[in-house]
């Protein structure tokens, strides 16, 4: 028998390229912006409001435009959305670096980030991975997200080195150029045959969403995505302040937060093993429970031991949720509209990710206790898991294609 790494059905080179695209796309603004924001604020006086608005614009547009990018993927294959992303997103990001006005920068950078996110984030790269790896779709998505796990630990320090060496403007330009180059290479090489779904997509994205919403399994997946994203966003935003409030030194808390990011690999590396024994839905339930438990551990993190437990449990849970959402989505979503509907799920994900920290912040201010928001985050994780139970329309056996 062939080993799992030499399966000819798994296009490792093209999955690696999609993984590199995921790393540079997320790193170009999603992770990198936090490293640059102080320098941008000092160079473009106007306060943090326009800068955070630019980041919010990018988040919102990633979700909204992601549905359209998914539609292009369903109708024409990967080449068109990758090409559109290469032409628009990096160009707008590059243009933003010539602005002397913070609000103009916010609009250009936000629009560019949204164009990059909508055409190169997981809702696109997971769908493409599944379509170019017929018969081993789950393994392809899992392999892709192992690459993607390096976006934060690699691109954050690289962004800091560039910031210190060449300044924030050239750092953004370098990031935008890297995204453009990888998108162009992906457009040419990843799927040269323009492979789309086996049939024809729905007549419009709205028809695809409306028809999908009539299916109980898809409704539960959508609601689970909302709840899970809500909980994870609260956990990520509050991880350092919660540990500091519990008595952990800020430098130690920051180190534990970084370890939590690296621990995401613990949730991704064993997925092939897990999916040969359990269904994607069951494994996703466990991952969401781990996120909920991680939020509770964060609420009681008062020393290095509890902080380390939080980093391990929450990191593994968050690391597993992302690929499992894609793997389970590939199982239950109509294949002809997979790109469109994965974009719609990403839109829900982004909405909940923005709402979660706001709710947690209001609770923390009202109670003067950081842990109250974390309790809500834990409940959201458990609700996300509970929404994936009770499916009687399909067997809950192992994912034989993993």
| Closest to 189 measured CA to CA, from 339, 9, 13 | 13
Instruction: Locate all alpha helices (DSSP H) within 98-204, ordered by sequence.
Output: 102-120, 122-131, 137-148, 151-189
Q: What's the CA gap between 109 and 114, in Å, rounded? A: 8
Terminal Cα distance for the chain, rounded:
16
List, in order of start, the domains of the chain with CATH numbers. 4-189 (1.20.1250.20), 205-386 (1.20.1250.20)
| 8 Å CB contact between 310 and 298 | yes
Find how far residue 172's CA is from the centre of its chain: 20
Let me know: does 27 contact 149? Beta carbons within 8 Å.
Answer: no
What letter would DSSP give residue 393? Answer: S
Q: Walk along the chain (402 residues) and give the pLDDT tens digit of each residue.
A: 334 444 556 788 999 999 999 999 998 988 888 788 888 989 998 888 888 888 888 888 998 999 999 999 998 889 999 999 999 999 999 999 999 999 999 999 999 999 999 999 999 999 999 889 888 888 899 899 999 888 888 888 898 899 999 999 999 999 999 999 999 999 999 976 565 555 677 788 889 999 999 999 999 999 999 999 999 988 887 888 889 889 999 888 888 888 888 898 899 989 888 988 999 999 999 999 999 999 999 999 999 999 999 999 999 999 999 899 989 998 999 988 999 999 999 889 888 887 888 888 788 888 888 888 899 999 999 999 999 986 554 545 455 444
Please, what sign has the CA dihedral across residues 66, 72, 77, 80?
negative
pLDDT on residue 194: 61
Q: Which of 80, 127, 162, 187 is nearest to 337 (CA)?
A: 127
- C-alpha 10/C-alpha 146 separation (Å) is 15
Q: What is the dihedral of CA 292, 64, 140, 8, to 10 degrees?
A: 180
User: What's the confidence (pLDDT) of residue 401?
Assistant: 43
Tell me the chain's radius of gyration from C-alpha atoms.
20
Distance between CA 253 and CA 80 in Å, rounded?
Answer: 43
CA distances from 331 to 224, 334, 335 (A): 15, 8, 8
Q: What is the DSSP string of 133-154?
A: STT-HHHHHHHHHHHHTTHHHH
Nearest Cα neighbor of 323 from 391, 277, 266 is 266
CA 273 to chain centre: 23
Per-position b or e across 306-336, b if 16+ CB within 10 A of its CB: bbbbbbbbbbbbbbbbbbbbbbbbbbbbbbb
- Nearest CA-CA partner of 290 in 317, 260, 315: 317
Q: Please tell me the pTM assigned to this model.
A: 0.81
Alpha-helix residue ranges (DSSP H) falling in 191-303: 205-212, 216-245, 250-262, 264-268, 271-275, 280-299
How distant is the alpha carbon of residue 315 from its chain centre? 14
- CA 383 to each of CA 131, 172, 225, 388: distance values in angstroms, whole numbers, following the listed order: 31, 39, 10, 9
């Amino acid at each position: 028998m062939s080993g799992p790494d030499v399966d000819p059905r798994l296009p490792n080179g093209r999955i690696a390229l999609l993984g590199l695209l995921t790393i540079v796309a997320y790193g170009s603004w999603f992770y990198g912006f936090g490293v640059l924001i102080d320098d941008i604020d000092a160079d473009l006086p106007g306060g943090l409001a326009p800068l955070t608005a630019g980041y919010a614009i990018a988040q919102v547009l990633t979700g909204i435009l992601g549905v359209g990018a998914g539609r292009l993927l369903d109708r024409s294959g990967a080449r068109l959305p990758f090409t559109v992303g290469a032409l628009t997103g990096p160009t707008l990001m590059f243009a933003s670096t010539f602005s002397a006005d913070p609000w103009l920068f916010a609009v250009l950078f936000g629009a560019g980030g949204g164009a990059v996110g909508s055409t190169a984030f997981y809702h696109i790269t997971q769908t493409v991975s599944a379509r170019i790896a017929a018969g081993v779709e789950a393994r392809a998505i899992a392999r892709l997200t192992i690459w993607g796990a390096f976006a934060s630990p690699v691109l954050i320090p690289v962004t800091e080195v560039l910031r210190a060496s060449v300044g924030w403007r050239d750092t953004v330009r370098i990031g935008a150029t890297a995204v453009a180059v990888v998108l162009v290479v992906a457009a040419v090489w990843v799927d040269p045959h323009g492979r789309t779904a086996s049939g024809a997509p729905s007549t419009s994205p709205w028809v695809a969403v409306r028809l999908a919403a009539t299916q109980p399994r898809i409704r539960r997946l959508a609601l689970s995505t909302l709840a899970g994203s809500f909980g994870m966003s609260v956990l990520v935003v509050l991880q350092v302040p919660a540990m500091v409030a519990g008595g952990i030194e800020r430098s130690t808390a920051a180190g534990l937060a970084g370890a939590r990011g690296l621990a995401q690999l613990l949730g991704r590396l064993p997925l092939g093993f897990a999916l040969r024994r359990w269904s994607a839905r069951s494994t996703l339930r466990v991952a969401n429970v781990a996120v909920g438990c991680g939020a509770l551990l964060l609420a009681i993190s008062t020393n290095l031991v509890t902080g380390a437990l939080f980093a391990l449990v929450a990191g593994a849970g968050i690391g597993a949720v992302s690929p499992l959402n894609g793997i389970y989505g590939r199982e239950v979503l109509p294949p002809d509209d997979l790109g469109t509907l994965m974009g719609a799920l990403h839109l829900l994900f982004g909405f909940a990710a923005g709402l979660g920290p706001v709710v947690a912040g209001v609770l923390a201010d009202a109670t003067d206790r950081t842990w109250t928001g974390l309790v809500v985050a834990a409940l959201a994780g458990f609700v996300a898991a509970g929404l994936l139970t009770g499916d009687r329309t399909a067997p809950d056996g192992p994912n034989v294609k993993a």
